[in-house]
Every structure is written in structure tokens, then in C-alpha cells.
Amino acid sequence: MSDFTKERRREDRNIEHEKSFGPSRWSHCRKRGINGSLRSNGEADDIDRGRNGHTDSSYKHPDRRHPSFTTPESTGSVSRCGRQADWGSQVEDDEMRRDVHRDMQRYRRRILGAEFTQRERRASSGSSGSCDSREGDNMETDEAVLLRRQKQINYGKNTLAYDRYIKEVPKHMRQPGVHPKTPNKFRKYSRRSWDQQIKLWKVKLHAWDPPAEEGQDKTLDVVEELNLDDVMDIELDFPTITDSQNTQTSLPIHSLSVEDEDCGTPVKVQRTAEPNIA
Amino acid sequence: MENSAEDYRIQSFDLDTQRLLKTALKDPSLVNLEKVSNIIVDQSLKDPVFSKEAGRICYTIVQAEAKQSNGNVFRRHLLNRLQQEFKEREEMRARSLQEWVCYVTFICNIFDYLKVNNMPMVALVHPVYDCLMRLAKPDALMNEDEVDCLVVQLHRIGEQLEKADNQRMNDLFFLLRDGFLLQEGLSSMARLLLLEILEFRAGGWMLSSTAHKQWCVSLLTW
């Protein structure tokens, strides 16, 4: 027998061998097989092997991966929604992951640089500052969290309002409080606090929506008066008001194309801030 | 970005399509990007000349769309269309060898040009390997067109592929070495091409100047 055919036989045997290993390695985490029935370790192979004929050949033996894997393998952690098999989504997810890592490196360098100069300044002036400049130590680094936050930021930035905003107001002209600022995804925040910051940021951005209705100007005044900066920094805990109560105030903002989650927010905030405006 | 139409080799298209492609290159928001991606893929599968450099026009459209609207529509459609064809590559090969060879040329070209943050697209690494492994199988080695495609692609993207997955490159070269040494009925040209690629990788994806001269001589005396 030539080495050539021997090698092929060996390769095939290895594949079969790997296939029987595949599900067993993971099946201790899964109580049930694909058809829903409870299974033992030995059973797993038979159920799963039957499916092989239907699988996409790109996921077959070359990767030594069993087709019934529920967790796709990739270069790093994968979110639960990352189970998309189409190349378009895979590349997009991969790109976002790389962008986040690159941002993280840049941010770290920036913070460390800023911290260093601050420490020098403090040392030379002889004062002992508080520890609130230690952002480098207290940075959010969980990839899943950063990816989720980046996605939320991307939704806000992919709007006409945002495009118009950055064209109209260059960064150095931004006034804190008046002009929306993208939440910093590297700071540690609770999930609620972060989600609320994103909501408020997007609400503020609506002030730059392309002119569609005459109610536009009224919205601008309302939003600017709200002075949301106080609200942005604290952890927000709104009482659960039902939607029927919210529709009392007929803000033009409802008639614009706003995501459902935003409908309640401007009204709630207005209610809280109203005493200040008066 | 100021490449003339000739650089993208779009002369093979009819005039209307040429106009559509030129618009896509300058102002992607004005065209139906799904349609454009289908046009490009269809042509790549038919036209060997176009498939060799179609990656370039795709790259430019992707960049233009990203810059203009931060969008990924074209890239997504292109990749998913590639994936569709990939799933049915065995049937494609049985139907038309030329189409299959064009497909492999095209997907390798895309792999070469379309990078994500200057890194090759991870999603394409395994599919490209699958294609090259198919070309290294005994029945494919009997066709000079397939062998030619295989060595050309390895010259272009072999080093990148190896960096992305060294083990699979080893597996591929096991097949190539076996084919070169043992396969009966291989044409002399095929054997020569295989030997050259074996030496090329052994030399670190480069041919030393002396080796290059030797190869030129042996090809001349061919």
C-alpha cells in the first residue's frame, strides 16, 4: 500500500475519531440531545452522527468540529447572538471586536499618559489629590460588555441626526450640558446607568433631526431647557409609570421616528426637571 | 482612488453596467449595492481575466461605502453570495471546471484585498483552505488548469494563509508532496508546478535569486 493512500486512510480514521470525541467533550454540559431527549454520553454520538449529512460542508472535518456544536468556535469569546453562520455577519462581528480592542489600547495609553502628567503636577505643587484620577485601574475591560455598549453607540451614531450634529458643531465648540456627548464605554457603570445614559444621549441627538415637521423648533427649546447634565452623572431610578400616563404630555417628539424605548423617556425626564424650569 | 476603468478591467461589461459600476465606485449611495455585488460575482465566475483582479474593485466600493455612510451593505451581500456559491462548489466543479477555477481565483482575490483593520478576514480562512485542499486532491491534480490555479493562489496569499492557520497549510502541503511524489498520470507540467511551490514555501514564500534563475532556465528549455 502506498504512503499516499495510507495517509488518506489515517486522515479519515482521525476524523471519525475526532467526531466521536466532539460531542462527548461538550455533552456533559448538555442534558439533552438535539431531538430533546435526555441522553447519556454514549448516546450522543449516534444522534449527532445522523445529522452529518445535512450540515454545511464548510464546518466538517477540516476544523475537527462536530456539526452539532452549539457554541461556535472563534478567535475569542462569542456573544450569545454571535451564532450567525453567514460570512457577512461573521466579518462584521470580527471587525467590531477588533475595533473595540484597538479602542481599548488607545484609551489605556491616553489615560496612562494623562495620569502621569497629573501625578507630576501634583507632586511638584506638593498637594495630595484624591484618587478619582485613577481611571486606568477602574476601566471596563469585559469584551462582551464593551461590544454591547459599542453596538448601542453605533445605533446612535448611524443616524442622520448624528451626522448633522458633528457637521454643525465641531468638537472644540461643544459646550457641556448643551451639546450631547457620547457616553464613555470604558468607564465602569451599572447596566441600568449605562442604558439610561445612552437613552438620554440619543434623545439629545434628536435635536439635530433633519427638518420634517413644523413641531421641530418647539422640540429644540424643550430639549435644551431640560439641562440633562445633572441627570447624566447620577444613577437613575425612575418609578414605573405606565404609558397611558405618559401620553398626557403631547410632545412633538412622539411624532418623530423614535424607537419605542425612547417614547417614555423625555416625558419622564421633563416631569423630574419641571420644577427647575419654572 | 483615481484608478481608470482599465485598472478594474470592466471593459468586458456592457456600457450601462460600466456606468453603474463607475457610479458605485464614486457614490455608492446612488446604486443598489446588492445588485452591484451580484453583477460582480456573476462576471467573476464567467470571466477568468476579471476574476483575477475583481478584488480591487470590490475593495474600492467597500471603502467608498464605509467612508460615505459607514455602511457595510455591499460587503455583506458580496460575502453572503460567495458563501452561497461555496456551499455548492462541488456541483459547480462538476458542472464547469472553468467556473470552479474562476470561483477559487475570485475568493482568493477577495481574501487578498478585503482586509479588516489590515488583517485578513477570519471568516474566509477556512473556506479558502477548503478550496485549495480540493484543488490538491488527486482528481484535481490531473487537470493542469486546477494545478495552475492552486500554485498561483499560493504564490499570492500563501504566506498570509500560513500565518492565519499554520496547521492547515501543513496539511495542504502533505497532499501536495504526496501528489508530486506518488501520483501516477500527472503531467510533467503539473509536476513542475508542484515542485516549484514546494520549494517556494520551503524557502519562506520567496524564491532566492539563484533559484529564480534556475527556474527561468528550466522553463525556457521546456
Q: What is the pLDDT of residues B83-128, one digit of tens each?
A: 999 999 999 999 999 999 999 999 999 999 999 888 999 999 999 9
- The confidence score (pLDDT) of residue A232 equals 54
pLDDT band, very low/low/confident/very high, at A247 (cuts 50, 70, 90): very low
- The confidence score (pLDDT) of residue A262 equals 44
Look at residues A208, A189, A179, A196 and name the one whose alpha carbon lies nearest to residue A268.
Answer: A196
Q: Degrees (nearest 5) of the Cα angle B133, B44, B198?
A: 30
pLDDT band, very low/low/confident/very high, at A146 (cuts 50, 70, 90): very high
Look at residues B43, B161, B151, B142 and name the one whose alpha carbon lies nearest to residue B102.
Answer: B43
- The confidence score (pLDDT) of residue A210 equals 84
Q: Is B127 exposed, middle or buried (0-12, 13-18, 19+ CB in 10 A)?
A: buried
Mean pLDDT estimate for chain B: 91
- Give residue A84's identity as a one-letter amino acid code: Q
CB contact under 8 A, B76 and A89: yes
Share of chain B above pLDDT 90, in %: 82
Q: Are A129 and A122 in contact (CB under 8 A)?
A: yes
Three cell numbers written together for A149? 455598549
- The confidence score (pLDDT) of residue A158 equals 85
Is 50 exceeded by the pLDDT of residue A59?
Answer: no
Contacts 24+ apart (CB under 8 A), A79-83: A79/A144, A79/A147, A79/A148
Q: What are A196-210's pLDDT values in tens digits?
A: 999 999 999 998 888
Is 60 exceeded by the pLDDT of residue A226?
Answer: no
CA dist., res. A163 & res. A157, Å (int): 7
Give DSSP secondary structure letters for A23-64: HHHHHTT-SB-TTS-B--HHHHHHHHHHGGGGS-GGGSGGGT
Mean pLDDT along residues A163-170: 89
Comparing B134 with A110, the larger pLDDT belongs to B134
Mean pLDDT along residues B151-164: 96
Is 60 exceeded by the pLDDT of residue B212?
Answer: yes
Is 60 exceeded by the pLDDT of residue A270?
Answer: no
Mean pLDDT along residues A63-90: 60
CA dist., res. A130 & res. A126, Å (int): 13
In this complex, the residue of A2, A63, A91 whose CB is nearest that of residue B182 is: A2
The model carries a pTM of 0.65
For chain B, say whether A92 makes contact (Cβ under 8 Å).
Answer: yes
* CA B109 to chain centroid: 4
B-chain residues near A89 (CB < 8 A) = 76
Tracing cell 477602574 back to the chain, one arrives at: A138
Look at residues B200, B199, B191 and name the one whose alpha carbon lies nearest to residue B222.
Answer: B191
Is 70 exceeded by the pLDDT of residue A269?
Answer: no
Q: Are A186 and A104 in contact (CB under 8 A)?
A: yes
pLDDT band, very low/low/confident/very high, at A4 (cuts 50, 70, 90): low
- The confidence score (pLDDT) of residue B172 equals 97
Comparing A118 with B211, the larger pLDDT belongs to A118
- The confidence score (pLDDT) of residue A177 equals 83
CA dist., res. B218 & res. A267, Å (int): 82
- The confidence score (pLDDT) of residue A85 equals 85
CA dist., res. B84 & res. B82, Å (int): 5
Is 80 exceeded by the pLDDT of residue B142?
Answer: yes
Name the minimum distance, in Å, from the CA of A90 to any CA of chain B. 6
CA dist., res. B145 & res. B97, Å (int): 8
Is 60 exceeded by the pLDDT of residue A29?
Answer: no
Q: What are B38-94's pLDDT values in tens digits?
A: 999 999 999 999 999 899 999 999 999 999 888 899 999 999 999 999 999 999 999
Q: How far is CA B27 from each of CA B8, B33, B53, B60, B127, rounded to the nearest angstrom? A: 16, 11, 21, 11, 31
Secondary structure letter of residue A169 according to DSSP: S
Q: Are B123 and B79 in contact (CB under 8 A)?
A: yes
According to DSSP, the residues that pair with B115 across neighbouring strands are B120
Name the minimum distance, in Å, from the CA of B64 to any CA of chain A. 16
ipTM of the complex: 0.86
Q: What are phi and psi of A87, to 5 degrees?
A: -60, -35
Q: What are B174-208's pLDDT values in tens digits?
A: 999 999 999 999 999 999 999 999 999 999 998 77
B-chain residues near A90 (CB < 8 A) = 122-123
A-chain residues near B126 (CB < 8 A) = 58, 62-63
Q: Are B116 and A91 in contact (CB under 8 A)?
A: yes
- The confidence score (pLDDT) of residue A135 equals 56
Name the minimum distance, in Å, from the CA of A150 to any CA of chain B. 14
CA dist., res. A14 & res. A70, Å (int): 22
CA neighbours closer than 13 Å in the CB half-sphere of residue A57: 14
According to DSSP, the residues that pair with A179 across neighbouring strands are A176
